[in-house]
Amino acid sequence: MIDVDLEQQVGSFVLRACFTADAPVVGLFGRSGAGKSTLVNAIAGVTRPSRGHVRVGDVTLFDSAQGIDLSPQERRVGYVFQDPLLFPHLTVEGNLHYGHRLRTEPIRFIEPLHVIDVLGLAALLDRKPGALSGGEKQRVAIGRALLAQPRILLLDEPLASLDVTRRMEILDYIERLRDEFHIPIVYVSHSVAEITRLADTLVVLSAGQCVASGDVDAVMGRLDLKPPAGRYETGAVIEATVTAHDLDFDLTTLGFDGGVLTVPGLNAFVGERVRARIRARDVSLAVQKPTGLSILNVLAGRVTAIREETGPVVDVQIAVGEALLTARITRRSRVQLGIHVEQELYALVKAVSFDHRSTGYA
Amino acid sequence: MAWPNSAGLTAEELGVILLSLRVALVSVICSLPLAILIAYVLARTRFPGKILIDALIHLPLVLPPVVVGFALLVLFGKHGPIGSWLDEWFGIVFAFRWTGAALASAIMGFPLMVRAIRLSIDGVDQRLETAAKTLGGSRAWVFASITLPLALPGIITGVLLSFARGLGEFGATITFVSNIPGETETLPLAIYALTQTPGGDAQALRLSVIAVVLSVMALVTSEWLTARTARAKTDDRR
């Protein structure tokens, strides 16, 4: 349980952020300049907000009304920065043990061997940070933060300094953390793909304000979030279960309450829960059930909202079972097809529009 | 005139060299902790009057050494305000003692030492210190375990500069503690005295060569230490 309500002014920028979340992974989403790092610094105690409170579980880290302001070392917030910031004069082992040595017995609950095992650091222990790749450095930084016995783990764009292949690797490790150590994680990112893959609860920050928070699926499906999320990334997230693998064509079918999705072959067991992100621009609409089509995913739904704009595009929200999809179509198509709220129609999604970044474990 | 010993030095020359080394070493060792503290404060904090402290520390660099020596004489002399107080309470006497020579060379070398250390502390990424704090380190522990080791090359440079300055100190020393053979007569003072003595040129040359050798040795040692710590710090291949 994390409860944050903070006000802070940095130059002309004003942060007024307020959210509560109770989830294994809270995604803190916003474009650069939205105030993500300011908020995270305030939670970690690196900077002091002018007003508000930060509570993690039943511990108050900061409360201006009660005059509580724990120092960073007392907060036990496992802060992983954008840059790994490993201590260059210490070996990997020295880095990992830095915080562990400073925490005495009663609050130790995470053991070095466990962390080294989960993050795959055994082979790196006597190397210096200078001899590590970017991904390895970030894993050591995460391990170091974990071994300082944190109440909560703050990951501030941990993939920012990595190339694309390393990003996938670190995401896998973060998923393992979530399952192995029962520490709430706040994952800060400007990437919809990362957030939807990891987070259960999503907080959207824009111009220093929390503009939305709640369940990932609900928030991602909301139409009014378009500006902070950016035009390109608008979309929906569907939680589904792997129902079958088609090995001949290397496809996987996912079942959810609105129907069946066919996606490129996933590395997951039948019965596993996964998330699939469907970008609004990948969804087409048809008023009648189409035939003779290469598109594999045809989902029957009902229009719940239309976000009308004066420009060439409109966003149409469709309820498919319990899930909400967003389709981005031209305004002309909407007018010509006469699409209106409450209309029954079909949403078409090409299977190939699901790339490896848009599906992941739930 | 004493007989030359095995190293080809007379007992007098050896005494001068050992005294010079002792004066320079003691001055460096005693001023180092204070120099590190002041360098850290100047590099990491902001407070009103900081520029004044900065200027005060750099004063010996721009003042004529004789003026510094005279100021020391006035303040730390037998009847000076600080000198008489130290003598009364701690029995520490600087005037006309080798300790006074050490004090003079410490003060002359102090700005060089502080500058070098401050520069290297400036070069330590403050975010590393922040990271160490979030991992549970107190301010003092973070300083000792992160800042200090990372600033080590600059500390070594500062120590060397101050040591070399101490070996060469002349003006402040001769003004403050005068030239007393066996007590305050360091290498530069001895060389100067010899050049003022008829027929002393040959011996002055011998001592000058020794001064050069000592300085080069100090320089090489420091370069070697700096290279070693730099290698240990950023060793890319473990």
Q: Give the domain ranges of chain A.
A: 2-228, 235-361
A48 touching chain B per CB within 8 A: no
> Could you tell me which CATH number the domain at A2-228 has?
3.40.50.300
**Chain mean pLDDT for chain A:** 85
Lowest mean pLDDT among A70-74, A80-84, A144-148, B228-232: B228-232
Which pLDDT band, with edges at 50, 70 and 90, does B237 fall under? very low
How far apart CA B31 and CA B28 sit, in angstroms, is 5
- To probe the interface with B, which of A48, A98, A105 has the most B CB atoms within 10 Å? A98
The nearest CA of chain B is from the CA of A256 a distance in Å of 42
* pLDDT tens digits along A292-324: 888 889 999 999 888 877 778 888 889 888 888
A235-361 has CATH 2.40.50.100 classification: yes
Domains, chain B, ranges and CATH? 12-231 (1.10.3720.10)
Is the pLDDT reported for residue B41 higher than 60?
yes
pTM (predicted TM-score): 0.75
Q: How far is B161 from chain A (nearest CA, A)?
A: 24
On the question of pLDDT at A135 being above 70, the answer is yes
pLDDT per residue as tens digits for the range B127-173: 999 999 999 999 999 999 999 999 998 999 999 999 999 999 999 99
**Complex ipTM:** 0.80
Residue A238 has pLDDT above 90, yes or no: no
Q: How many CB pairs under 8 A join A and B?
A: 71
Residues of B in contact with A76 (CB under 8 A): 136
